[in-house]
Amino acid sequence: MNGKIQKYCVIGLISLIFILLIYKTFPITELFEESLQIQLNHQVEQNHIQPNREVSKNKSKQRYRMYIDYKQKIYTELLALTKEALDELKIPFFLSSGTCLGYFRENKFINHDYDIDIGIFAKDYTPKLIDKMTDKGFKLYRVLGNQEDGMELSFRKEKGHRLGRYAKVDIFLHYPENGYISWYTYKYPEFKEKIQYRVSKFKLTSINFMGLQVNVPEPTLGYILEHYGEDWTIPKKAGINYFYATSPKSIVKQ
């Protein structure tokens, strides 16, 4: 009996020594902990990939909203300065084209628009307008056409904002004739080919836009339908699914 006990004790002692030797050579606990940590890290990574993407997307949306809010603010300031210049010269003016569409469809400047469109009647134009706009901080950088048969004046305000070349106001002379009103632009990039827009004759009505009292064509919906067509409610981006030289329904085919 004592012999068996001794035998089992010897076996147990040998087993214990064997286990200790294995542990010393291969730190099982450390390997297990490392493996467990790798699995945990992998799980944490998997769990956070999607949230991190969402956070990045949300930050991009937030930056875009901040940009749009800033742009609306600067465009409102540009419109206010343009209004001051025209009012001081007693020149009636109105929101035209994309700016009028922004008012009627969204009650703001269109987010992806890159300028402000203003209309005046050709009979009211005076070269003093250029001086007045200069006094308000604008720079005349382009004149297309002439007062007699189709003029477009393009101004930029180069200081006091971070919009760069997009702080831009285009003033189009309009020409009533035979129950219609026409205005003109010139095709990019040479700006030599003249493009005529024409809609039914309209009156002007005063509205409040971005806190400013300005005019728009009346009836406004009729103007927008004739210029943009039945799908005017669908936003379109310049250069993607809209081109000013071919897309408007009001273009007169030569």
Q: Cβ distance 248 to 228 under 8 Å?
A: yes
Domains of the chain, by residue range, sit at 59-228
Note the pLDDT tens digit of each residue in 6-60.
555 445 545 544 444 433 433 333 333 344 444 444 444 444 455 567 777 788 8
Note the pLDDT tens digit of each residue in 151-198.
999 999 999 999 999 999 999 999 999 999 999 999 999 999 999 999
Q: How far is CA 163 from the centre of its chain?
A: 11
Q: Which one of 3.30.67, 3.30.460, 3.90.700, 2.30.30 gives the CATH number of domain 59-228?
A: 3.30.460
Question: Coil, strand or helix: which one is 1?
Answer: coil
User: What is the pTM assigned to this prediction?
Assistant: 0.78
For residues 43-60, one letter each, b for 16 or more C-beta atoms within 10 angstroms of the residue's C-beta and e for the rest, the string is eeeeeeeeeeeeeeeeee
Left (φ > 0), alpha (ψ -120 to 50) or beta: where does 26 sit? Answer: beta
